[in-house]
């Protein structure tokens, strides 16, 4: 039996499964872990009322651009980079 650690989001799950199936070069679009504002969240007008979130500004990139995110998105980003590091260590990705 094979057990696949899928992380905390569907994108992380898809990455894990793709890796286990032998895919080595993935392209992710729109996986930026940010929200436009506290009033207009990522699922506004789509998923209805969401759970309360804690928002914070973080700096990203070489220019230290300030963006708004939430704690769960930061966790997803950490899981993503840990997963990518593990895949590189084991030669499971070309990225």
pLDDT, residue 35, reads: 80
- pTM reported for the whole predicted model: 0.76
Residues 31-43: pLDDT tens digits? 878 887 877 766 6
Q: String of b and e for 72-89 (b: at least 16 CB within 10 Å)?
A: ebeebbebbeebbeebee
Going by the DSSP 8-state scheme, the letter that residue 84 receives in this structure is H
Instruction: Give the other-Cβ count within 10 Å of 62's Cβ.
Output: 5
Among 12-21, 45-54, 71-80, the minimum mean pLDDT is found in 45-54
Q: How far is CA 78 from CA 2, 12, 14, 33, 38, in A?
A: 24, 11, 16, 11, 22
């Amino acid at each position: 039996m094979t057990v696949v650690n899928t992380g905390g989001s569907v994108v992380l799950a898809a990455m894990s499964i793709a890796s286990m199936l032998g895919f080595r070069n993935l392209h992710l679009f729109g996986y930026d872990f940010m929200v436009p504002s506290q009033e207009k969240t990522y699922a506004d007008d789509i998923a209805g009322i969401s759970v309360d979130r804690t928002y914070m500004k973080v700096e990203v990139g070489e220019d230290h651009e300030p963006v708004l995110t939430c704690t769960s998105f930061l966790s997803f980003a950490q899981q993503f980079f840990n997963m990518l590091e593990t895949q590189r260590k084991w030669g499971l990705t070309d990225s």
